[in-house]
Structure 1
Amino acid sequence: MESLISNLAIWALPVLLAITLHEAAHGYVARYFGDPTADRAGRITLNPLRHIDPVGTVLVPAGILGLSVLFGGGGILFGWAKPVPVDFGRLRRPKADMLWVAAAGPGANLAMAIGWALLFKLAISSPQGAFTIPMMKMADAGMQINGVLMLLNLLPIPPLDGGRIAVSLLPGRLAWHFSRIEPFGFPILLLLLFSGLLGAILGPMLAMFRFFLALIFGI
């Protein structure tokens, strides 16, 4: 139980920031390109309460952490927030601007991963104290969860961000056909998750991402 509480304390802030700022970034970029829907709904905010999904932001990440503590090993930790409402038809150039709105979420996760990497570098360069180890663990968790969310959301499966980016880049008729996969996107993800294929796909990509972070920042 003590180990579970310790893990929850370390992961809580990185998970909360990674999930909520990912969604806020979508709304901010959508407003920049002409769609005020998220702004009017009060979703362009750093207040996590406006973005939290009780299941995706709290129960799922906590459950994965709990299982990893109880049974050992480590599944890939992930979660989600309430999707920010975007009316793509209100963007100034709907098909082209969709790319930037979709890329904003993974872009926010990349920026946060870099921020956590800098904090990790600061922690290992500082004199050892009471907060050094917890800071390192939290920074490591921040790099991990942001890497997972960035790579997961870049998978080319509508309605994930990667799917929306693909729709934006594909020629008109092909984009329309590809977008029709969207109703099946979540079942496809569940199939990948429970078959183990999702971990097999994301695992090497995440390892490579962490390797480049370590290489760039000397950690």
Structure 2
Amino acid sequence: MELNIVQQVAVYALPVVFAITLHEAAHGYVAKHFGDTTAYMLGRVSMNPLRHIDPIGTVLIPLLTMFLGGILFGWAKPVPVNFNHLRNPKKDMLWVALAGPGANLAMALGWAVVMKLANMMPDSPFSLPMALMGMAGININIVLMVLNLLPLLPLDGGRIAVSLLPGRLAYRYSMLEPYGMILLVILLFSGVLGAIIGPLIHVTKSLILLLFGI
């Protein structure tokens, strides 16, 4: 079904806000669990989207990528984590970093349930909106999960790499962080990013749809 831009915004708005919001809140929650209360003290361990929304990353960029086509892309205000406050900084960094993509995977599965329910009641007036929103939720959460697992700092995958690398190599790798977002933007607008993560997104989405028989 072909949707106009207004319909696309209506379908994607809720999944996008929750995908980005809960991703960031998950980082803060796990950081608090391992000893860093920075995000908690700033009120960022919250499901309130207003605490996480970035006007550019959460609103403008997703709208532009939706309008221009390609991979739906966006971000929220990063949750502040002081890794030095973690009980075991290098080890615990792994779990803090994994929390965001893990939240996106959980939400993708949750939206798959919504889509499955929609398919089970085809005569309901809510069936089509639920199915469209369910697919949107699956799409955006898989994109965010796969994107954030790229081993580039300051993405979660970069934090995971720093956590797993030996001390000296991890330190050298962490020094590349100031250039990570520049490289990511170059990859995005050159089309290389889509070529890298596109197949991973397709495989992950196919597995979820197969799991739920959709």
2:54, 2:123 → 1: CA distance? 37
The equivalent residue for 1:186 is 181
Q: Deviations over 1:5-58 (max 9, x none)?
A: 111000000000000100000000000000000000000001000000000000
Moved over 4 A (4+): none
Matches for 1:41-60 after TM superposition, within 5 Å? 41-60=42-61
TM-score (normalizing by structure 1): 0.95
The equivalent residue for 2:126 is 131
Q: Number of aligned pairs?
A: 212
1:3, 1:110 → 2: CA distance? 28
Quote the RMSD (CA, aligned, Å).
Answer: 0.9
The equivalent residue for 1:160 is 155
- Measured after TM superposition, the shift of residue 125 of structure 1 is 1.1
Q: Deviations over 1:61-90 (max 9, x none)?
A: 1122223xxxxxx30002100000000000
Find out whether 1:8 has 2:9 as its counterpart. Answer: yes
1:66, 1:127 → 2: CA distance? 29
- Measured after TM superposition, the shift of residue 145 of structure 1 is 0.2
Q: Secondary structure at the match of 1:130?
A: coil
Unaligned ranges ≥5, structure 2: none
Matches for 1:1-219 after TM superposition, within 5 Å? 3-67=4-68, 74-219=69-214
- Measured after TM superposition, the shift of residue 162 of structure 1 is 0.2
Q: Secondary structure at the match of 1:86?
A: coil
2:186, 2:59 → 1: CA distance? 22
Q: Deviations over 1:113-155 (max 9, x none)?
A: 0000111111101142221111100000000000000000000
> What letter is aligned with 1:185?
G
Q: Percent identity?
A: 63
Unaligned ranges ≥5, structure 1: 68-73
